[in-house]
Structure 1
Amino acid sequence: MSQATTTAFQLCFRSLFDGRGFAFPCDRHGRVDLDGLSEQARLNYLYARAMVGRELSVPAIEPVPH
């Protein structure tokens, strides 16, 4: 598959309360490359996973807007 036809995806955790949330690059199956994230992004990802159902919704896989 060529680079031009490749679609990028993000895993989105939306806030249950204030409209804010988190988005992380992922593959089409929702897998996030933790080794490819910065330390702060990795901490945010782990926080988001822990807060599902408390502060954040179940994550959704979405195409990255261009």
Structure 2
Amino acid sequence: MTDASAHRRPRHANSPFRPQAEMAVEEFAAGDRVCHDSHGLGRVVSVDAGGATVDFGGSTLRIETPFRKMTKL
């Protein structure tokens, strides 16, 4: 018996079931000013592969990638 996942069907270009394109993850650097949907304005303190540490004035939080709710100003 063969495994169903071993034989994938080709996807047609006009298929309504095609996967959504991945959004590009925005790049941040230490010192960048940012706006977060929940926490407001802040400044990036440090960045690593898994996320960024951001100082929002009253608190310093680590924001994980992808940065869906955070934009660079």
Larger Rg: 2
Structure with greater strand share of residues: 2
| Higher RCO structure (Cα 8 Å, ≥6 apart) | 1
TM-score (norm 1): 0.27
Query: TM-score by structure 2 length?
Result: 0.26
Higher percent of residues as helix: 1
